[in-house]
Amino acid sequence: MVEAWYMDESSEDQRKPHRLEPSRPADLELLRQLGVIYWKLDADKYENDPELEKIRKERNYSWMDIITISKEKLPNYEEKIKIFYEEHIHLDDEVRYILEGSGYFDVRDKEDKWIRIFMEKGDMVTLPAGIYHRFTLDEMNYVKAMRLFSGEPVWIAYNRPAEHLDARVQYVKFLTQTA
Ligand code: KMT
Ligand code: NI
């Protein structure tokens, strides 16, 4: 089962777990209310997986590529790591499927608190357009992930504040409508 928790406020190494003490877990229902959708798949068969195909078809995730984030494999590694961890939004959903390794996706809850989602092999997630979020590797320093997109990918990240953007306005509206 995917594990998620509220973060502490320490400015220590971003790759550490940063669990709040005492711990405050975030369950899938809470994530769902934020528009975050989670699936567990068998990453060993990602190249031929009817379950993955079903999700892609239903949600129109027609485009995909595979990114490896490690010092050796990712060009401009240090710069990218910094960019991934800046709080931002996109105009489209951010869809990631972890094939190897692990990392943390952090999302803001309704009270603007950080929830850290530990994503490892077989975990797939959709972060809705307009949600403030960020990504970091964990202390293993390695992840291989599938990036999925509905149509031609747009990678533009709008760093916070981005309140005026339509995707943000729509997302805030969505939050007021979910329980
Ligand atoms: C992103 O957009 O933050 C990334 O592609 C990095 C995370 S993919 C595991
Ligand atoms: Ni992003």
pLDDT in tens, 118-168: 999 999 999 999 999 999 999 999 999 999 999 999 999 999 999 999 999
Report d(CA 115, CA 62) in Å as an integer: 29
Report the predicted TM-score, pTM, of the whole model to 2 decimal places.
0.98
Class of domain 3-177: mainly beta
Q: 97 CB less than 6 Å from ligand 1?
A: no
Ligand 1 atom nearest residue 84's Cα: 3
Q: How far is the CA of 57 from the centre of ligand 1 (A)?
A: 22
Q: How far apart are the first and last CA of the chain?
A: 23
**3-class DSSP state of 15:** coil
Cα radius of gyration (the chain): 16
Report d(CA 142, CA 87) in Å as an integer: 21
Q: Rounded to an integer, what is the distance from CA 142 to the centroid of its chain?
A: 15
